[in-house]
Amino acid sequence: MSFNTYFDLNDGLKIPAIGYGTWLSDDEEQLEKAIDAALEVGYRHIDGAYVYQNENVIGRVLQKWFSSGKLKREDIFLTTKLPPSGMRPEHVQKFIKESLAALQVDYVDLYLVHVPFGLKYVEGTLYPTSDDGKSDYDANTDHVAIWKAMEELVSLGLTKSIGVSNFNKDQIQRILDNSEIPPCNLQVEHHAYLQQKDLVRFCKENKIVVTAYSPLGSPGLSKLGRETPDLMGHPVVNEIAKKYNKSAAQVLLKHIIQTGIVAIPKSTNPERLRQNIDIFDFSLSDEDLQTMNDLDQNLRILDFKFLFKGIENHPEYPFKELV
Ligand SMILES: NC(=O)c1ccc[n+]([C@@H]2O[C@H](COP(=O)([O-])OP(=O)(O)OC[C@H]3O[C@@H](n4cnc5c(N)ncnc54)[C@H](OP(=O)(O)O)[C@@H]3O)[C@@H](O)[C@H]2O)c1
Tell me, letter by letter, the H, E, C secondary structure of 245-283. CCCHHHHHHHHHHHCCCEECCCCCCHHHHHHHHCCCCCC
- 52 assigned to active site: yes
Q: What's the whole-number average pLDDT of the chain?
A: 96
With a 6 Å cutoff on the Cβ, whether 215 touches ligand 1 is yes
User: Is it the case that residue 323 has pLDDT exceeding 50?
Assistant: no
- Output the CA angle 183-185-190, nearest 5 degrees: 140
Q: Among 266, 308, 319, which is best to mutate for testing ligand 1, by the most ligand atoms less than 8 A from CB?
A: 266
Task: Report the pLDDT value the prediction gives residue 322, as an integer from 0 to 100.
Answer: 44
User: Is it the case that residue 319 has pLDDT exceeding 90?
Assistant: yes
Task: Report the pLDDT value the prediction gives residue 175, as an integer from 0 to 100.
Answer: 98
User: Is it the case that residue 76 has pLDDT exceeding 80?
Assistant: yes
- Residue 26: inside a domain, yes or no? yes
Q: How far does Cα 220 stand from its chain's mean position?
A: 15
- Residue 228: inside a domain, yes or no? yes
**Out of 52, 137, 213, 317, which one is annotated catalytic?**
52
For residue 215, how far is its CA from the centre of ligand 1 (angstroms)? 7
- Residue 63: inside a domain, yes or no? yes
Q: Which domain holds residue 58?
A: 8-322
- Residue 109: inside a domain, yes or no? yes
- Residue 3: inside a domain, yes or no? no
**Tens digit of each residue's pLDDT (9 = 90 or more) over 132-154:** 889 999 999 999 999 999 999 99
With a 6 Å cutoff on the Cβ, whether 275 touches ligand 1 is yes
The C-alpha atoms of residue 86 and residue 187 are separated, in whole angstroms, by: 18
User: Is it the case that residue 26 has pLDDT exceeding 90?
Assistant: no
For residue 213, how far is its CA from the centre of ligand 1 (angstroms)? 8
- Residue 297: inside a domain, yes or no? yes
**Tens digit of each residue's pLDDT (9 = 90 or more) over 267-314:** 999 999 999 999 999 999 999 999 999 999 999 999 999 999 999 999
Task: Report the pLDDT value the prediction gives residue 225, as an integer from 0 to 100.
Answer: 85
Summarize the confidence of residues 86-97 as an average pLDDT.
98
- Residue 13: inside a domain, yes or no? yes
Residue with the nearest Cα to atom 5 of ligand 1? 213
Going by pLDDT thresholds of 50, 70 and 90, the confidence category of residue 30 is very high
| High-pLDDT (> 70) share of the chain, % | 98
Q: For residue 281, with 0-12 CB atoms within 10 Å meaning exposed, 13-18 middle and 19 or more buried, which class applies?
A: exposed
- Residue 215: inside a domain, yes or no? yes
Q: 0.95 exceeded by the pTM?
A: yes
Of ligand 1's listed atoms, the one at least distance from the Cα of 20 is 47
User: Is it the case that residue 230 has pLDDT exceeding 70?
Assistant: yes
Task: Report the pLDDT value the prediction gives residue 3, as an integer from 0 to 100.
Answer: 60
Number of structural domains, the chain? 1
Task: Write the CATH number for 23.
Answer: 3.20.20.100
